[in-house]
Amino acid sequence: MKHAFLIALLLFIPLIAQAAFVPQAPDIKASSYVLMDYASGDILAARKPNQQEAPASLTKLMTMYITFDLLQKGRLHLDDKVHISEKAWRTGIDGSASRMFVEVGDRVPVDLLIRGVIVDSGNDASIALAEHIAGSVSSFAGLMNQYAKRLGMTHSHFVNADGLPADDHYSSAEDLAHLARHLIRDFPEYYHYFSQKSFTYDNIKQYNRVHLLFTDPSVDGLKTGYTKAAGYCELVSAKRDGRRLISIVMGTPSEKYRNVANEQLLNYGFRFFETDKLLGKDKPALDVRVYKGAAEQVPLGTVKPVYLGLPHGSADKLKIVPQIDARLVAPIALGQQLGSAAIKLGDKTLRTVPLVALKAVPEGSFFHNVVDQIKLWIKG
């Protein structure tokens, strides 16, 4: 759906050009990248978004998604003590990988391990959480793949919780942007961890590797990654004037450049695109006549808001074209699907959404029903 939207958008740029001039996206030196509108999930700019990439420490975003999900469900608690195994302690002990510096036999609260994973990019903390949650890293990897399937990450496969190089361990820029969107949307109560700039454990202070947290006040997370195979990767989110964008670059040539690249993409997205809310509980598509009901009309729309990420100035050119399945006869239940609506720009359909009743309409009185039945007979 997202790719179809992007392709359609590119095909009819001349229609939009009357509303706003949109230049090409910045020339980013990366093996792949994605700029995503958070509210709609629409991709505003991309290069090879589904190309399989070594995700390096961006893998830890899935480790955090599972951790947050279990916390939210009450199956894990922030004050739970996690036993640090020798395997977790040994991960990166030779200096080949980032660490939180936990010690064998320590019992560390989940809350501190989360900070160790996000701020320190601690591979040892990631392994400790994986073992605590699933019993072993391999079992946790199986859980990661189940979650990936549920989230629609069709170009990802995980074999570990930390992202150190391994055969058959890969993801894509679009999958990871999609994962970040879910992290922000599904766990708002835990997203604050990603904005923490430093963390001290056992008298060792480390700083968040997302340097844009220190230079761009609109950026509030998420994660960086690096291995020789992956190159320098970074996934960030920023919020400006109530709009949020997600930007990810993979396989860039340097630590400094991944920050430059994401800043360029974010500036491009905020400057030349807008997020438009078209439908929702408070914005019905239309009111439709109801026969034999206690009310003569019912508002049709969508329960969840429908957003589109579009070039600035194009919202006024959008049209919502409803299609009602049949004449509506009470009773009608709240949330009952009664038709669909095509969202169009010119002659092009950007998206089609189901239309449901935003209010229930019970049956009307006997006399009212008789009158409406006569009207229906007349209309055929």
85, 98, 121, 247: the active-site residue: 121
From 31, 32, 40, 57, active-site residue: 57
> How far is residue 291's CA from residue 361's CA, in Å, rounded to a whole number?
10
Q: Among this protein's residues, is 29 annotated catalytic? A: no
Catalytic-residue membership of 171: no
Give the Cα separation of 281 and 302 in Å (integer). Answer: 6
Tell me, yes or no, if 57 is annotated catalytic.
yes
Give Cβ neighbours of residue 242 (< 8 Å, ≥ 6 apart): none
Which of the residues 31, 40, 60, 314 is marked catalytic? 60
Residue pair 151/182 in contact (Cβ under 8 Å)? The answer is yes
- Phi then psi for residue 371, to 5 deg, are -60, -45
Rounded Cα distance, 110 and 81, in Å: 6
So which residues are the catalytic ones? 57, 60, 121
